Amino acid sequence: MRIFVLLLVCLIEIAYLQTVRAERVPNQLTRAEEISGWQSLFDGKTADSFRNYRKQTLNPGWQVIDGALTRAAARAGDIITKEQYRYFELSIEFKIAKGGNSGIMFHVEEGPGFAWFTGPEVQVLCNEAGKDEQKAGWLNQLYSPRKEAGRPVAATRPAGQWNHIYLRVSPLGCEVCMNGVRYYTFSLGDKSWEKRVAESKFAKQAKFGKAGQGHICLQDHGDQVAGRNIKIRKLAEDGTLPRAPVDGTLEIQGVPAFPDLQWEGYHPVDQDGNVAKQLRIRELTTARDVPGRLFAAAQSGVIYSFENQPDVQQARVLLDLSGRVRRWWDNGGNNEQGLLGVAMHPQFSKNGQFFVSYNHIDDNRTVISRFQISSSDPLKADPDSEQIVLEVPQPFTNHNGGAIEFGPDGHLYIALGDGGLRNDTQENGENLGTLLGSILRIDVDHPVKGKNYGIPADNPFVSVTGAQPEIFAFGLRNTWRIAFDRATGLLWCGDVGQELWEEIDVIEKGRNYGWSSREGSKPFSNRSGHPDFPHT
């Protein structure tokens, strides 16, 4: 197996403001959206992309009010986009009046009858005071969210607040998300679709859902409703993006860093032709005071070391924890557990200490342990030297985080996810009473009574009633990787997103990064967030 040094050029929109933190300006595309193919259907000033259904003009009942396209007066009528769309992604924020009813239709054809005769409709409703048995985000009479605790998932915010709907129509599959929560997926024209249509009121409409392309329609159902940040991205005929979100190229080429490197004890295929599980190197690090040697951690539980030379041929086993570590291939569809982090002590050359983060083979719990290099062999660790520093129960087999790093201050930083499943079902992300969903900061050199570590006195929540004093920052979903910038000392974090957004965060002491009331710059579900420590 080879390790390749790759330069992954990504376009990342990072809002890192030292003194001013603000939301994006509504109805404007970001640079990232522009170069990745998104188009604005509404600029907050005019409704030039729309006209009324079966008309060439826009009725005065639709008005632009406070930067929102608003159904404000009677007889406004359904409006449609002037352009037709086949495969696309649609992003729209809506605000509905109390008791209100509206909808968003797609693949609408103009002909005799109403727009809903041809176009499937994503419901826009006031769930609390509405008269419809269906709820906002449901595909009218066809699809509803999956159930949790016996009831369909509900992520809509109350009437008078902004909600976000994401709709994808693609030959690869269609999807609807409400406030970042996936409600359902479907495939136009498959057996399930045809069966549901046949059992609905739309069975009488011969052209319902058959067009294959058409207009986007905003429905007038007699109630006030407003829309903003209305954006669409066309997809190619095969459902892929029409172009990559890249605005430049670099004259850089990836090359094998260690082309001859072999891993001690690992054989991709044995003598009988059986293919081994992937090695899955999850960490490649070095000791600050031993720059000539690299350490690599395989998710299966083995830590290797080798010389930091391009012609190196052998990676030797430093420590084999495979008998103590949860095997990632035993978790069904989840493959996020195992040996997830290793960090060498800042004084490694003097004390021979290093730390690991892994899921225990018995019960999934996260274990942070200290190990010691063998006194007889500097290239081997003593497997019996394990000192458990910290243990954290894990409710599920995903979103365990697991990265660990020593900071410039000499303290150990530990990244923990929200504990798993979907939608942060236990609401751990912004709960300061649990270690989950946080980045911890502990002192491994000065333990206090009853613990194998100490709490830095300047940790931000040491004096907060009910808070875990180890927490350095919180509101995180699944902090898969963290790293300190050697030049600036900034702590960077890759927080794995759910359906729509991925985050790269600069972690600051005491900050709330919003999960699970927010994801990125967007509200998530209908949660209100931490009352005392608002999101960053």
Q: What is the CATH number of the domain that holds 124?
A: 2.60.120.560
Establish if 489 belongs to a structural domain.
yes
Residue with tokens 């000539």: 292
How many beta carbons lie within 10 A of that of residue 45, not counting itself? 9
What residues contact 206, with CB distance under 8 A and at least 6 apart?
none
**Angle at 464 (CA atoms; ends 457, 434), nearest 5 degrees:** 95
Last residue of a domain, one of 194, 219, 234: 234
Asked if 230 and 139 sit in the same domain, the reply is yes
Least confident of 51-65, 172-186, 224-238, 267-281: 267-281
Mean pLDDT of the chain: 92
Q: Are residues 266 and 353 in the same domain?
A: yes
More confident residue, 382 or 420: 382
Task: Report yes or no on 372 lying in a domain.
Answer: yes
Final residue of a structural domain among 202, 234, 266: 234
What's the average model confidence in pLDDT over 263-267?
Answer: 92
What are the tokens at 115?
């727009």
Quote the pLDDT of residue 332.
Answer: 66
Whole-model pTM above 0.85?
A: yes
pLDDT of 38-47, one tens digit each?
Answer: 999 999 999 9
The DSSP line for 298-329 is: ETTSEEEEEES-TT--EEEEEEE-TTTBPPGG
From CA 143, how far away is CA 128, in angstroms rounded? 20
Boundary of a domain, candidates 166, 199, 234: 234
* 289 and 197 co-located in one domain: no
Flag whether 515 is in a domain.
yes
What is the DSSP secondary structure assignment for residue 512, as one 8-state letter? B
Asked if pLDDT for residue 278 goes beyond 50, the answer is: yes
How sure is the predictor about 180, in pLDDT bands with cuts at 50, 70 and 90?
very high
Q: Are 226 and 271 found together in one domain?
A: no
For residue 42, being part of any structural domain is answered with yes
* 270 has pLDDT over 90: no
Are 322 and 404 in a shared domain? yes
Verify that 226 and 275 share a domain, yes or no.
Answer: no
Total of domains in the chain: 2
The answer to whether residues 212 and 333 belong to one domain is no
* Same domain for 217 and 140: yes
- What gap in Å lies between CA 227 and CA 219, rounded to an integer? 11
DSSP string, 153-184: ---PPPTTS-EEEEEEE-TT-EEEEETTEEEE
Q: Give φ, ψ of 51 to 5 degrees.
A: -150, 165
Is residue 377 located within the same domain as residue 442? Answer: yes
286 and 188 in a common domain = no
The residue with greater pLDDT, 278 or 363, is 363
Residues 191 and 318 in one domain: no
Identify the pLDDT of residue 492: 98
pLDDT in tens, 348-377: 999 999 999 999 999 989 999 999 999 999
36 confidence band (pLDDT: 50, 70, 90) = very high
Buried-state track 456-475, b at ≥16 Cβ within 10 A, e below 16: beebbbeeeeebbbbbbbbb
Confidence band for 85, pLDDT divided at 50, 70 and 90: very high
On whether residue 26 sits in a domain, the answer given is no
- On the question of pLDDT at 212 being above 90, the answer is yes
Residue 12 lies in a domain: no
Confidence band, pLDDT 50/70/90 cuts, at residue 271: confident
- pLDDT for res 393: 96
Residue 250 resides in a domain: no
Domain that holds residue 106: 31-234
CATH code at position 376:
2.120.10.30
Are residues 88 and 200 located together in one domain of the fold?
Answer: yes
pLDDT category at 3 given cuts 50, 70, 90 is very low
Q: Please compute the mean of the pLDDT values over residues 487-507 and round it to a whole number.
A: 95
